[in-house]
Structure 1
Amino acid sequence: MKLELGKIFIHDVQFAERTYVENGTLYVCRQEIISLVLEDDRLVSADVDLAKPGESVRIAPVKDVIEPRVKVEGDGGLFPGIINKVRQVGAGRTHALVGAAVVTSGRIVGFQEGIIDMSGEAAKYTPFSRTNNVCVIFRAKEGIDAHEHETAGRLAGLKVAAYIGEAARELTPDEIVTYETKPYLEQIAEYPDLPKVGYIHMLQSQGLLHDTYYYGVDAKKFIPTFMYPTEIMDGAIVSGNCVAPCDKVTTFHHLNNPVIEDLYKQHGKDLNFIGVILTNENVFLADKERCSDMVGKLVEFLGLDGVIITEEGYGNPDTDLMMNCRKATAAGAKVVLITDEFPGRDGKSQSLADAVPEADTVVSCGQGNLIIHFPPMDKVIGTLEFVETMIGGYEGSLKPDGSIDAELQIIIASTIANGYNHLAARTY
């Protein structure tokens, strides 16, 4: 399966009477976006604002971040099973507005939405302080069920990203990158002397607003399966969860998964990138055992020499992570884990809720319990009403002048456990 990703680089975003791209600037029509969002009768009001790198702007609470894209060649459409019909994606050509993002915000659904600062000390911890953000702020009708609220907000962001992405359809990309994974036997034959490496991609799927969607299906409803990496890069997986903001895998991160990107860069040189084993994170022990058994079986069946494993969330999912590690090792693969840590504010507690002897090679994306200071911003997009009840916040976090003291985990993607962030840890 071969995917061409055409990148159109965006350096600025502005409002205009229509939506288009010119000379690296994305122009968006505010009223058309509002009208699109309000097609959903579960939402009673909507607004659009812009947030650019370096501005004195705080966005809160953030629900999802999506990169605008459009499928220009090949089967299927963007986000199949959700805003387009169910068709396999991952082949053909897709155009992306790189440097732009749609950020959804509004009154809180759960308690695990987060914050993006566009400047100041806290800005350096999130990759989205560097994107030109089209912020969609929505309000759901009173009394709506929390799951319906989440669904309406999720669809609003995806529809707006697809709408903006259409501006890239007829453009000539600034850069085209080609990614290809061949059918298994062909892939093995092409690089017979290189180690066969796979990626075990764990999706948050524990329910109670901790959900991810695979071709429109709630991830808790499928069993571990194999995916071409390009399917993920082409919108087959969508975030729908309210997991802790620091390690929330937004839809943007699924489209731009750095593990997949880096494995492709080494493919045919140092390793043979076979593909992705997709699995979920379960609540009950029996389900954890069942799914991790199947992950181990797929590792063995594919004859993988090495795997990288990433998780989403922390605490309960750490057990899924360790089970997958232990069983992939037993199947004959060398295993590298990528995760973040939560050792308490004093740094003295165990960083992960579970551990096994096989977990002897770990890449850390930082720890989320560090207290940092957020200076006041000139402008807030959304509301600060819920800061003290968000993960990482606490009573007294929000100061009268609009500044905040909170744990690092309140920032979107600050310690995200696939490495698309700006933190790391080293052992000396």
Structure 2
Amino acid sequence: MKLEIGNFVVKDVAFGAKTGFANGIFTVNKEEALAEVMKDEHITEAELHIVKPGDEVRLVPVKDALEIRCRVSGAPGNHPGATSDLCSTATGRVHSLTGASLLVVGKHWGSFQDGLIDMGGPFQRGTLYGFLKNIVLVADTDEEFERHEQQKKNHALRWAGMRLAEFLGKTLADLTPDSIDVYELDAVNRRDSAVSDLPSVVYVMQPQTQMEAMGYNTLVYGWDGNHMLPTYMHPNEILGGAVVSGSFMPCSSKMSTYEFQTNPTIKRLMKEHGKTLNFLGVIMSNLNVIMEQKIRSAIMVAQIANSLGADGAIVAEEGYGNPDVDYIQVIVELEKAGVKTVGISNECTGRDGKSQPLVALDPKADALVSTGNVSELVHLAPMKTVIGELDALQRDGLSGGWAGCVNPDGSCLLEDNAVFCADHPSGYSVKRCFEF
């Protein structure tokens, strides 16, 4: 299967008379873009902003991030099953803006999975999106039934973001990309000995699927991940847009839709394929609440990996706490099956950093990569401009925020938990450890 991603490197983003890309500048006709957003009758008001690295801007509550892209061939849209008819995303060509994203922000109301981004100041470094040129959709909806709920589906805003990213991306369809990345893997049993003799590695993804109520979980081809059992997937399917981020996850732990579309771990494994390793593909697993379900999924992951002939595995967990049990159980079952495994997750070690990092641990889980402590306290000075509503951080049950964490001058005290996608279990994390 062959997927081509054409990259348009963004030097700047601006508003203008016509939406399009030329000479490194992506221009957006604001009125046309907002008209596309307002086609959804549940969107009551909307605005667009442009924010760039170094701007004295704070965004909250951020709900999702998406790559601005379009399908040139191979599928009917960016997210088949969610915003278009079902079709495999593993083949064809995608055109995308590189170095930019679309951020979706609530104008007022936030929820448990929403977070904060600083575009400037010392905590710009807190998340990947502080270093991208971002088009920001800020909107409100008529979804009064969940206005004061801590858990919100954020359906209208999430779908508005997906539709807007595709609307903007369609202007790239007939242009020539700055570069083209080709992602192609032969069938596992049809690889020549030069590849098959290399160490065989599988990537296990554990997106958030714990909510039994529909509408909150990660979607795979539009299907709620709570219904899934561990499934083998071609890596091109994830890069091609098969997975949409859900609306249930403490925010620093989540993988945004952008991070599924551009997953750096998958891209590195594809780059190393045929050179240092034999990349077998992706096992899309799930996260469960009941112990029997956790064990069942872990056994199935190990069986798939073993049947593929995996020598090694990378397991990436979206979340912490209850999902740690799934995470460690999968690692244990893989190790029992003879598959050497490395795990990637954040940890919850308390504000003093002295608590047990994961809810579950096992001696077989002896190669773990930590992407950060969700409980780390972060002090943020006032920011010149706030897009969205800062009060959402303390009012609406955002993970990492609490009543009184926002001061009258606009400064904040919060946990890492509240910073949008800050821990990047997808592989984008730039955090370092220091020993004192």
Fold equivalence (TM over 0.5): yes
Q: How do residues 408-419 of structure 1 correspond to structure 2 at under 5 angstroms?
A: 408-419=416-427
Q: Which whole-Å CA distance do the structure 2 matches of 1:304 and 1:112 have between them?
A: 34
Q: 1:171 aligns with which of 170, 175, 184?
A: 175
Question: Offset of 1:75 from its aligned partner?
Answer: 3.7
Q: 1:329 aligns with which of 331, 335, 340?
A: 335
Pairs aligned (count): 428
Structure 2: how far apart are the matches of 1:355 and 1:427?
A: 23
Structure 1 runs (4+) greater than 6 angstroms displaced: none
- Which residue is equivalent to 2:73? 73
* 5+ residue gaps, structure 1: none
Q: What does residue range 378-393 of structure 1 map to in structure 2 within 5 Å?
A: 378-388=384-394, 389-393=397-401
Instruction: Select the residue among 147, 151, 156 that pairs with 2:155.
Output: 151
Report the residue type matching 2:269 in the other structure. Answer: L
Superposed displacement of residue 189, structure 1? 4.5
Give the 3-state SS of the residue equivalent to 1:13 in structure 2.
strand
C-alpha displacement at 1:112, in angstroms?
2.8
Q: Is the partner of 1:280 in helix, strand or coil? A: coil
SS in 2 for 1:26: strand
* C-alpha deviation, 1:188, in angstroms: 6.2
Secondary structure, aligned partner of 2:93: strand
TM-fit CA distance, 1:109: 4.8
Q: Which amino acid in 1 is paired with 2:360?
A: D
Q: CA deviation at 1:144?
A: 3.2
Alignment of 1:213-292 (within 5 A): 213-292=219-298
Contact 2:112 2:251 in 1 (8 A): no
Residue 137 to residue 75, structure 1, CA distance change in 2 (3 Å): closer
Between 304-313 and 178-187, report the one with greater CA deviation: 178-187
Matches of 1:142 and 1:203 in 2, distance apart? 26
Aligned mates of 2:202, 2:21 — CA distance in 1: 37
SS at match of 2:154: helix
- For residues 224 and 396 of structure 1, the distance between their equivalents in structure 2, rounded to whole angstroms, comes to 42
Q: Residue 312 of structure 2 corresponds to which residue in structure 1?
A: 306
Corresponding residue to 2:413 among 380, 405, 411: 405
TM-score, with structure 1 as normaliser: 0.96
The equivalent residue for 2:134 is 133
Change (3 A) 1:211 1:109: farther
1:365-384 Cα shifts (integer Å, max 9, x gaps): 12122212212111111111
Deviation of 1:141 after TM superposition, in Å, equals 1.0
- Percent identity of equivalent pairs: 37
Where structure 2 has 5 or more consecutive residues not aligned to the other structure, the ranges are none
Q: C-alpha separation between the residues in 2 aligned to 1:19 and 1:100?
A: 15
Asked if 1:423 is matched to 2:431, the reply is yes
Deviations 1:202-224, CA, capped at 9 Å, x for gaps:
11001166410000000111211
Which residue of the other structure, out of 387, 395, 415, is the alignment partner of 2:403?
395
The answer on whether the counterparts of 1:59 and 1:382 sit within 8 Å (CA) in structure 2 is: yes
The one-letter code sitting in structure 2 at the alignment partner of 1:143 is: E
Once the two structures are overlaid, the 10-residue window that deviates more, 137-146 or 236-245, is 137-146
Contact 1:202 / 1:309 at 8 angstroms: preserved in 2? Answer: yes
Taking structure 2 as the reference length, the TM-score comes to: 0.94
State the AA in 1 paired with 2:268: D
Query: What is the DSSP-based 3-state SS (H/G/I as helix, E as strand, rest coil) of the residue aligned with 2:357?
Result: coil
Contact 2:83–2:163 at 8 Å: present in 1 too? Answer: yes
Residues 74-107 of structure 1: per-residue CA shift (max 9 Å, x gap):
2443111111110001212211101111100113
- What per-residue deviation string (whole Å, max 9, x for no partner) do you get for residues 309-346 of structure 1? 00101101000001110111112200000111110011
1:190 positional shift? 5.2
Stretch moving more, 295-304 or 184-193? 184-193
